[in-house]
Amino acid sequence: MYPDLQGKTVVITGAGTGLGQAMALRFGQEKANVVINYFKEEENPDDTIKEIERSGGKAIKIQGDVSKEEDIKQMIQKAVSEFGSLDIMVNNAGIENEVPSDELTLEDWNRVISTNLTGMFLGCREAIDYMLDHGIKGSVINMSSVHQQIPWPHFVHYAASKGGAKLLTETLALEYAPKGIRVNAIGPGAIDTPINAEKFADEKLKEGVVELIPMGYIGKPEEVAACAVWLSSSEASYVTGLTLYVDGGMTKYPGFQAGKG
């Protein structure tokens, strides 16, 4: 537990499902004020809100599309009007789809880049602008991926968006370090969330993924959420510009494990 997170206000995008939802619940356990952005009607987070309230936190929801400037502005405004501040911004929303790059349509390219990268930029800009105006030494976390480092055939738009997330994070970390605003990224490996549901429903495909993980199992959303609260807390007060890989060792060349290299 991180006592300094109690009463802090955090906005989490794409928090109706998966990692965003797990982070919302964990920030709730830390007794933070959680603003849950969700995207689709069926992801309505009423149950998550109840669970957060049961664990001692506070939570509200706001539907919105991170690729729309106005929607991001509204998320921040809602956080401030409801809870009086914004201390932590988690740019988590993201999408992917598999398609050979020579067949990738401009529409699909734009959809992924505008959600994963432009949405992240807008979230960073609006949060940092608020923090600067109010002298808040806040924390921004961008949900990147191991694919900010590992090339990923058939997912070029996704890999490009996460590669962009890396330098977006590092550049903003450098730019706002003198103001005490920390900007970090989390790079998950393969985690059991809806984004992977189809892939992991196929045992063969799932086994293939597990083979790429030195620790030998698919990660749990809670394992990512645990890193997000640490990165946001004062325990990480001197950490900025980092991508914290939460990947069971996936980025460490599993092909070279003993006997294979």
Helix (H, G, I), strand (E, B) or coil at 182: strand
Contact between 190 and ligand NAI by CB under 6 A: the answer reads yes
Residues 40-79 that bind ligand NAI (CB under 6 A): 40, 43, 65-67
Cross-strand pairs, 9 = 33
C-beta closer to ligand NAI: residue 20 or 138: 20
Give Cα separations from 147 to 127, 130, 186 (angstroms).
Answer: 25, 30, 11
Report CA 154 to chain centroid distance, whole Å. 22
Q: Per the residue annotation, which of 38, 130, 158, 176 is the catalytic one?
A: 158
DSSP string, 219-259: BPHHHHHHHHHHHHSGGGTT--S-EEEESTTTTS-GGGSTT
Q: Sheet containing 58-63: give its strands across.
A: 58-63, 33-38, 9-12, 88-91, 139-143, 182-188, 243-246
**By CB under 6 A, which span of 44-52, 87-95, 122-130, 149-157 interacts with ligand NAI?**
87-95
* CB 203 to ligand NAI: min, Å: 17
For residue 21, give both structure tokens. 């939802």
Residues 204-233 that bind ligand NAI (CB under 6 A): none
The site for ligand NAI, by CB under 6 A, has a size of 28
**By CB under 6 A, which span of 18-26, 98-106, 206-214, 248-256 interacts with ligand NAI?**
18-26
Q: Is 38 a catalytic residue?
A: no
* Total length of the chain: 261
Contact 215, 248 (CB under 8 A): yes
C-beta closer to ligand NAI: residue 122 or 131: 122
Contact 11, 20 (CB under 8 A): no
Contact between 164 and ligand NAI by CB under 6 A: the answer reads no
Contact between 139 and ligand NAI by CB under 6 A: the answer reads no
Residues 88-127 that bind ligand NAI (CB under 6 A): 92-95, 115
C-beta closer to ligand NAI: residue 31 or 78: 78
Active site residues: 158
Q: Which residues bind ligand NAI (CB under 6 A)?
A: 13-14, 16-20, 37, 39-40, 43, 65-67, 92-95, 115, 143, 145, 188, 190-191, 193-196
